[in-house]
A = this chain, B = another copy of it.
Amino acid sequence: MQADTQPFTTRPLNWEQLTREAADLLNELFPLCRSLTGDGVRQTLARLQQIAAFELLEIPSGSQAFDWQVPPEWNIHGAYLETEDGQRLLDFADNNLHVVNYSLPVDELLTWEQLRPHLHSLPDLPEAIPYRTSYYTPDWGFCLPHEQLQAMDQGLNYRAVIQATLAPGSMTLGESLLPGASGQEFLLSSYCCHPSLANDSLSGVVLWALLLRELQANHHRHAYRFVILPETIGAIAYLAANQEAMQRLRGGWIPTTVAGPGPFGYKHTFRGDDLIDRVVLQTFREQGVEPILYPFDVNGSDEKQYSAPGFRIPVGTICKAKYYEYDEYHTSLDNLDFIRPEHLIDSLKLYLLAIEKLELNRTYISLAPYSEPMFGKRDLYPSLGGTIKQKAADLARPHAERRYQIRLETEAGIRGDSLDAMRWLMFYGDGATSLLQIAERTGLPVRQLYETAERLRQHDLLALLEEEPEARP
């Protein structure tokens, strides 16, 4: 077998160990106060670098990025709200959501009327601390449970202290470029700007690092661009700095909110039926799992930047409890109790399986195009004819039982009838139908088609075409 047909194969992985590793990372990184900039991000990325190698980039405050400017760097060392007589009501040390992200430093004694506009709560979710930011409007504030806010004495004065700095510095990004021979490059982008919020999107950050390590350890034909950055300004600054390279990207994903309860979800790319969408949907189909399907929405994460008219990179998101869709979203209830590392690992498997399909998606052309070849003389056919054809077993295994049991194909083994796969491959061997298309039309798994095609190639019945199917035009 030549190098260019070496299949993408997930190393035999110890999923239990991976799950424990994910749990440890989640526990360790959850308390850090991340933001658009600052040391919380740097600590997070430094820890991830122990998982998988990537470069750090620092973009100075004030740098122009298209319509935007990188903001000053924000760091925070402590914050609290007390009554005038020293009764502490809120402390940043307890939960970094208590402080509006990017708050100006403050140390003031205020009346209730002066303080009130700086307090944020959620009347509909009275026990939760909301997550609030004020990146581009200089302001400060505290976030607290609504029931706590209602209990405050409006006749008192309050001391508000935020020990923060907002000063020229830099914004920190991580990047790892994995070269590939196919000429096609894919993006994996995650955002690291959220403080103590578990599903959105510490789960995505951890998955990103584990996925990067897996790709680094594996032979792959395509190039992959892994980036981790603050949402919006990070993606925009990265696009601005890599404009030409980004315009060549074939597609990608933004892993986020990957470890919550409830069903899997998939947010489509803006194309809706791009190669990116199709490998994901084929993955779900092969797993017998029905995700909630979300159409592309310009609201969301950085897919809106990557898919802007000047770039138009199709970017999707596989998730588990999608942002916006659960009540705990952007509150202190999106914590380590809300998510499970097992879910994160299941999502990791889905990303690996989707990438596997990108890797295995080749086009073959028949060397025996004028009728079905004689499989029998090559020992590829059952010798006794006339047996009643077994109907292909339903590929979709029961849904309810296995929703959280995502299995890699290499674990699940080959399904269906190998003669079926041979026949379909010879039939579609017109040099214009990719393995993914054959899988979509026949219900046969991509990996089985790939392995069968390679076997037929060894028998000189198929030849592999050089062109990449569905390459970026």
A residues adjacent to B (C-beta < 8 A): 65-68, 100-101, 120, 122, 130-137, 139, 232, 235-236, 239-240, 243, 270, 298-299, 304-305, 307-312, 324, 329-330, 366, 368-374, 376-377, 383-389, 391, 420, 423-424, 426-430
Contacts and interface: CB of A to CB of B under 8 A. Distances in A.
Contacts of A429: 309
Given A270-B427, A304-B372, 14 more contacts: A66-B373, A67-B368, A68-B371, A132-B384, A132-B386, A134-B384, A136-B377, A137-B384, A139-B383, A304-B427, A308-B370, A309-B369, A324-B388, A330-B387
A229 B370 CA distance: 17
B310 A370 contact: yes
A307 B372 CA distance: 10
Contacts of A307: 427
| Tally of this chain's copies | 3
Contacts of A420: 298-299
Nearest to A311: B370
Nearest to A427: B298
A427 B66 CA distance: 15
Q: Which of A100, A131, A370 has the most CB of B within 10 A?
A: A370
Contacts of A235: 371
A120 B304 CA distance: 64
The 3 A-B residue pairs whose C-beta atoms are closest, nearest first, are A137-B383, A310-B369, A310-B370
A370 B240 contact: yes
Contact of A389 (B68, B236, B299): B299
A248 to B, nearest CB: 15
Nearest to A367: B67
A243 B370 CA distance: 9
Nearest to A270: B427
A309 B236 CA distance: 48
Contacts of A305: 371-372
Given A298-B423, A309-B366, A376 B136 contact: yes
A146 B378 CA distance: 32
Contacts of A387: 130, 132, 330
B137 A424 contact: no
Given A384-B132, A385-B132, A236 B371 contact: yes
A210 B172 CA distance: 65
A388 B67 contact: no
Nearest to A305: B371
A371 B308 contact: yes
